[in-house]
């Protein structure tokens, strides 16, 4: 996987300051389930692409998911999700525009044999999907995520294809370090058997305090001045290649990070207000 030093989430946000001419450090807090979490982001003084913000989004997602799961464990909940379980790996996995570009870059940076095999698997899955889009022509295009009914319809259509993730091999993810944020944010408290497509009852999905995927999608849309788009995982590589001209556009790194933080705050505040309101009504 390629590395980006343009934007980095710091492990200890309070210990690094701003040096003249060097990277800047932004510190911020998010209110997660009533508890503040502190973060620090180191930012290079340069222009960056959409894909350069993805490592930060992945790291934030990991940290937020960890905090959420630790709270559930403390309350006595069990999370069956673990290495070797691939029960949910035939779900429709949406990627933001930024992630589609980043995943393509990550796979291109792999050793030739490994990268070629993964690209081939992805293209094979994409071909199977596109052969069946006659029943749902919109499935081959980016999904405009402001329509929940359309998202649900496409998700059910995709589940009916019974296609395993193209990056799944012998029950393990072959692109784990680069896996989509949608995968990172998906956990359940119900048995793994309920995660199989069509199973009843449906799995009990862990509600995240904020969806970093949705925030990244909103950021991408604002920067490009487009509608929010989501690209189906197997179609991400051919889509990114088709839209290569969009991948090279750049913006000031600090401006991108500051807006991303604003979106995260707005989303967490909205979620916290809803949580408190629902708690009062119980």
- CA 124 to CA 133: how far, in whole Å? 15
**Tens digit of each residue's pLDDT (9 = 90 or more) over 33-45:** 778 899 999 999 9
Q: State residue 92's pLDDT score.
A: 85
Q: State residue 212's pLDDT score.
A: 96
Of 41, 71, 98, which is closest to residue 253 (Cα–Cα)? 41
Q: State residue 18's pLDDT score.
A: 56
The per-residue pLDDT string of the chain (282 residues; one tens digit each, 9 = 90 and over) reads 444 478 999 986 555 555 556 789 999 999 887 788 999 999 999 999 999 999 999 999 999 999 999 999 999 999 999 888 888 888 889 999 999 999 999 988 888 777 788 778 888 887 877 776 655 545 455 555 455 566 666 777 776 777 788 888 888 898 899 999 999 999 999 998 888 877 788 899 999 989 999 999 999 999 999 999 999 888 888 899 899 999 999 999 999 999 999 999 999 988 666 655 555 544
Three state DSSP letters for the chain: CCCCCCEEECCCCCCCCCCCCCCEEEEEEEEECCEEEEEEEEECCCEEEHHHHHHHHHHHHHHHHHHHHHHHHHCCCCCCCCCCCCCCCCCCCEECHHHHHHHHHHHHCCCHHHHHHHHHHHHHHHHHHHHCHHHCHHHHCCEECCCHHHHHHHHHHHHHHCCCCCCEECCEECCHHHCCHHHHCCCECCCHHHHCCCCCCCCCECCCCCCHHHHHHHHHHHHHCCCCEEEEHHHHHHHHHHCHHHHCCEEEHHHHHHHHHHHHHHHHHHHHHHHHHHHHHC
Q: State residue 135's pLDDT score.
A: 55
- Could you tell me how many residues make up the chain? 282
- CA 264 to CA 105: how far, in whole Å? 25
Provide the Cα torsion 246, 249, 254, 257; round to 10°: 10
Q: State residue 3's pLDDT score.
A: 47
Q: State residue 2's pLDDT score.
A: 46
Q: State residue 98's pLDDT score.
A: 97
Q: Report the alpha-carbon angle 195-201-202, nearest 5.
A: 45
Q: State residue 224's pLDDT score.
A: 97
């Amino acid at each position: 996987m390629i590395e980006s030093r343009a934007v980095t989430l710091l492990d200890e946000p309070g210990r690094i300051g701003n040096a003249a001419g060097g990277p800047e450090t932004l510190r911020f807090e998010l209110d997660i389930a009533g508890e503040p979490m502190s973060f620090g982001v180191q930012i290079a003084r340069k222009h960056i692409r959409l894909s350069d913000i993805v490592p930060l989004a992945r790291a934030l997602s990991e940290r937020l998911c960890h905090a959420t799961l630790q709270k559930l464990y403390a309350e006595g909940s069990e999370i069956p999700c673990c290495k070797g379980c691939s029960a949910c790996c035939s779900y429709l996995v949406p990627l933001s525009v930024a992630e589609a570009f980043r995943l393509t870059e990550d796979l291109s940076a792999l050793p030739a044999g490994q990268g070629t095999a993964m690209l081939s698997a992805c293209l094979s899955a994409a071909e199977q999907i596109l052969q069946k889009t006659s029943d749902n022509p919109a499935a081959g295009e980016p999904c405009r995520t402001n329509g929940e009914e359309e998202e649900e319809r496409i998700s059910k259509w995709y589940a009916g294809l019974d296609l395993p993730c193209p990056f799944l091999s012998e029950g393990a993810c072959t692109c784990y370090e680069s896996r989509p944020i949608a995968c990172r944010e998906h956990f359940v408290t119900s048995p793994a058997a309920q995660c199989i497509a069509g199973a009843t009852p449906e799995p009990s999905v862990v509600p995240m305090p904020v969806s970093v995927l949705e925030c990244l999608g909103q950021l991408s849309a604002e920067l490009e001045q487009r509608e929010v788009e989501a690209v189906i995982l197997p179609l991400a590589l051919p889509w990114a290649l088709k839209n290569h001209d969009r991948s090279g556009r750049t913006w000031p790194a600090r401006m991108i990070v500051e807006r991303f933080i604003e979106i995260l705050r707005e989303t967490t505040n909205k979620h916290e207000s809803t949580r408190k309101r629902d708690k009062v009504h119980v």
